[in-house]
Amino acid sequence: MISIPVASELILPEIRTRQCRFPTINDGRETALPSPLYHSSATGIDISPHSQFPIPNSQFPINKMNFLLVTDLDNTLVGDDKATQVLNQRLQPVRSQICLIYATGRSHASTRELIAQKQLLTPDYLIAGVGSEIYQDGSIDLDWAQYLSQDWDKMAIASLAQQFPQLKPQSLKEQNPWKISYCLEPTLENSSTIQALQQQLTASGLAAQIIFSSNRDLDILPQTSNKGNALTYLQKRLQIPSEATLVCGDSGNDISMFQQDVRGVIVANALSELLEWHREYGTENHYLAGSACASGIMEGMAYFWDF
């Protein structure tokens, strides 16, 4: 176990990948980095530097930080209370250098309850509803909301989804203006049901994507909305390079984060949907941890950041 840094060691060490070295904080060196790789999501969303994310205005103050840690909550940061507290303790001394973002499928209210219940560190930003909402200090990001509203017809999509009796609406607290959430009982027909729903959406000219995770949660979102696009939007705002950005997850709704030009940690207790994606599309920028939940996050931070 790497010890928690003392006051004289509050500078995070070098980030490590198999392809490049990134300069340490306040190092002052210039280091050549490889050309970034961009991966289109399953829905074909353009996430290259040329994609037109909204330009943030001055709604929120921006505090310059050196590192970006983005983690899912359930069964990633949360799931092993002892490991979560150890990670909290290790992050505290370097908290001013790390921008902490929680990216979850939960609603904003549910996430705030979980943060209080599990005594999690207060994040700098919160990506809620599978990327459909972004919050800072309890205030929603209006630029992101306006961006997702383009070509999004929630009423028409909900009406079309009613043609699929297999879809059981989740509670009202899990719905928001940019997310329609259902439960889909695990059956062998789920794949064909999801495919048929997506075909109907496309044939109707409705701009939407389906994200299925945990073998039960089906979310319909705007085509431009997911955890990955939300984190890239914030990454551009914060001007934190890809090599200093680490994402952590365990399920299918985290795949879009691993598709970005970042470093990624898949915890050992990850679901088969994410493990299967990793087997087919994983690169040297993705680390499959041998430990579960928060212990896996710490393992990945040690691998990429020598933390």
| pLDDT averaged over every residue in the chain | 83
Is 198 domain-assigned?
Answer: yes
If asked whether residues 114 and 257 sit together in one domain, one would say yes
**Has residue 93 got a pLDDT over 90?**
yes
Which residues, 6 or more positions from 149, have their beta carbon under 8 angstroms from its beta carbon? 177, 178, 222
Is 16 domain-assigned?
Answer: no
The CATH number of the domain holding residue 241 is 3.40.50.1000
The residue with greater pLDDT, 137 or 61, is: 137
pLDDT tens for each residue of 103-117? 999 999 999 999 999
**Has residue 250 got a pLDDT over 70?**
yes
Is 75 domain-assigned?
Answer: yes
Is 95 domain-assigned?
Answer: yes
Per-residue model confidence (pLDDT) at position 63: 55
Please identify, among 205, 222, 239, the residue that sits at the C-terminal boundary of a domain: 222
If asked whether residues 165 and 279 sit together in one domain, one would say no
If asked whether residues 189 and 92 sit together in one domain, one would say no
Closest CA to 145 of 221, 40, 68: 221
- Check: CB of residue 62 under 8 Å from CB of residue 238: yes
Per-residue model confidence (pLDDT) at position 145: 97
If asked whether residues 261 and 212 sit together in one domain, one would say no
In the block, tokens 């939960």 appear at 106
- Check: CB of residue 213 under 8 Å from CB of residue 105: yes
pLDDT tens for each residue of 200-249? 999 999 999 999 988 899 999 999 999 999 999 999 999 999 999 999 99
CA distance 31 to 156: 51
pLDDT band at 65 (very low <50, low <70, confident <90, very high): confident
The CATH number of the domain holding residue 170 is 3.90.1070.10
CA distance 216 to 214: 5
Is 274 domain-assigned?
Answer: yes
Over residues 278-301, the mean pLDDT reads: 98
Is 53 domain-assigned?
Answer: no
Q: What are the tokens at 136?
A: 């800072």
Q: How many domains does the chain have?
A: 2
pTM (two decimals): 0.81
Is 58 domain-assigned?
Answer: no
The residue with greater pLDDT, 132 or 27, is: 132
Lowest mean pLDDT among 39-48, 138-147, 171-180, 272-281: 39-48
Over residues 58-64, the mean pLDDT reads: 52
**Has residue 6 got a pLDDT over 50?**
no
Per-residue model confidence (pLDDT) at position 78: 98
If asked whether residues 193 and 91 sit together in one domain, one would say no
- Where in the sequence is the domain holding 143, given as residue range(s)? 64-147+226-305
If asked whether residues 217 and 171 sit together in one domain, one would say yes
If asked whether residues 180 and 297 sit together in one domain, one would say no
State the amino acid at position 203 in one-letter form: A
If asked whether residues 210 and 183 sit together in one domain, one would say yes
pLDDT band at 53 (very low <50, low <70, confident <90, very high): low
